Amino acid sequence: MIKWENVVMNVFENRKQNKQLGLTYAVFLMNGMLALSIGSLLPFVRDARGLDYGFCGLIVSLHSVGNLFSSFFAGTLPLVIGKKKSILLFQSAFAISYCMILFGKGNLVLAAAFLMTGLARGAASNYCNSKINNLAPGKAWIINGLHAMFSIGAFVFPILLTLITGTHADHWVYACMLMIALGVLTWILYLLIPEDEDVVAAAPAAGEAKESNWGFLKEPLFYLVILTLFFYLCAEQGVIGWMITYFKDTELLSPSVSTITASVQWLMILLGRLSAAFLSLKIAKEKLLPVMGVGLVAFFIILIFSKTTFWIMFGIVGFGYSMAGIYPTTVSFAGKLLQKYSMAWSFILTTASFGSILMPSVIGKIAADAGIAVGMSSVAVVLVIDFVCIIALCMYSVRSQKERIS
């Protein structure tokens, strides 16, 4: 039997590391709330400001652009000004953006605010994943625990918003005030997170610097992780972005039940990440990840081809549960790579994130030409490709371990 206290002691050697873990988990939970606040608050902001659907689509895209931008520069900026100053700079955008949403005038200010929410979110993702990988490189259960915190935040915010607004839609302003307070709290927590080292990169010999910062480009593992995450994010955002519309437009589910599917999926993602954190203690990630991949493909097929409510919901439950551990477990394969090369995570996150931007548009284009059912079915192709990438990643990891032993 595995004793949790022994595992923790093996991973965290001192009080400082425990503090790093706890505070990093806390800020990533709030990052989950930030991520879900965008879509949850948008209808209220739209109605209050009289926005059209075209502009709403633009500002949501600007959030994704900000997320992508900071995902890259939050990894490179620390080389210039240090880790602490970098994350504090980016996270100041959290509270400021919601002040702009609440008090700003004009569409330009609103567009800038949504861009800034993305800046804060992407920087947090970069920082927290890097921090956990540096604390416990390759420890899948720790990374799954981090992403479980994100899921908790994502699950909690819509509930809080419902409680705050109730039958008074104009109470959305209080939800914005809550986000401003959380933004300030998050900034303070980042300030309190201890850094192992926070020095600006010196200027060594040119050849030495290039090898130190860019050596990951020679690592096959780097590309296998990117490909696995890219196609996974294609599928994830494709399903999350279009699932409700698919069920409503095909009339497979009633409008009310269609909306509930999103909550069901996030609940299963939360449960799945907690389970993955536990299972990764007992099962090698090289065995666990392919099982998740099989579940992802199988349950999506059930979800997309079923015609009755029971089997559709069964597919959603299984799909959400299976997808939960894919991202953090894949990231854990790159643990030592991220620890060795400070810029590697920025490139992985930025490149892979293009999948989440690309696939919803691809589905929309296919749906416009051939119908929403065909558009959603295209996700199955992406999932099969992702499964092939998973197998290649796991085989490479096993082979590398054998070579190190021999």
User: 198: which 2 tokens?
Assistant: 């926070």
pLDDT in tens, 73-107: 877 788 788 888 999 999 999 999 999 999 988 89
Asked if the model's pLDDT at residue 200 lies above 60, the reply is no
User: Given this model, what pLDDT does residue 119 score?
Assistant: 92
User: Given this model, what pLDDT does residue 138 score?
Assistant: 65
Buried b (16+ CB within 10 A) or exposed e, 217-249: eeeebbbbbbbbbbbbbbbbbbbbbbbbbbbbe
What is the distance between the alpha carbons of residues 52 and 55, in angstroms, rounded to a whole number?
6
Average pLDDT, the chain: 83
Could you tell me the pLDDT band of residue 406, with boundaries at 50, 70 and 90? low
CATH class of 13-195: mainly alpha
User: Given this model, what pLDDT does residue 53 score?
Assistant: 66
The secondary structure of 341-392 as a DSSP string is -TTHHHHHHHHHHHHHHHHHHHHHHHHHHH-HHHHHHHHHHHHHHHHHHHHH
SS3 12: coil
The secondary structure of 78-144 as a DSSP string is HHHH-HHHHHHHHHHHHHHHHHHHHH--SHHHHHHHHHHHHHHHHHHHHHHHHHHHHHSTT-HHHHH
Asked if the model's pLDDT at residue 211 lies above 70, the reply is no
Q: Angle at CA 30, nearest 5°, toward 27 and 31?
A: 85
CA distances from 264 to 35, 107, 236, 277 (A): 17, 34, 15, 20
User: 328: which 2 tokens?
Assistant: 């953090």
CATH fold for the domain made of 216-406: Growth Hormone; Chain: A; (1.20.1250)
SS3 284: coil
pTM score: 0.70
Could you tell me the pLDDT band of residue 194, with boundaries at 50, 70 and 90? confident
Asked if the model's pLDDT at residue 205 lies above 60, the reply is no
Share of the chain above pLDDT 90, in %: 31
Q: Which of 135-139, 305-309, 346-350 has the lowest mean pLDDT?
A: 135-139
Same-fold call for 13-195 versus 216-406: yes
pLDDT in tens, 31-86: 988 887 877 787 788 888 888 766 776 787 788 788 888 877 877 788 788 888 99
Asked if the model's pLDDT at residue 256 lies above 80, the reply is no
Residue type, 170: D
Residues 129-150 have a mean pLDDT of 80
DSSP letter, residue 202: -
Asked if the model's pLDDT at residue 237 lies above 90, the reply is no
Share of the chain above pLDDT 70, in %: 90
Highest-pLDDT range among 105-109, 131-135, 344-348? 105-109
pLDDT in tens, 369-390: 888 889 889 999 999 999 999 9
Query: Where along the chain do its domains lie?
Result: 13-195, 216-406
Q: Could you report how far apart the first and last alpha carbons of the chain are, in Å?
A: 30
User: Given this model, what pLDDT does residue 259 score?
Assistant: 64
Calculated CA dihedral for residues 285, 19, 67, 260, nearest 10 degrees: 70
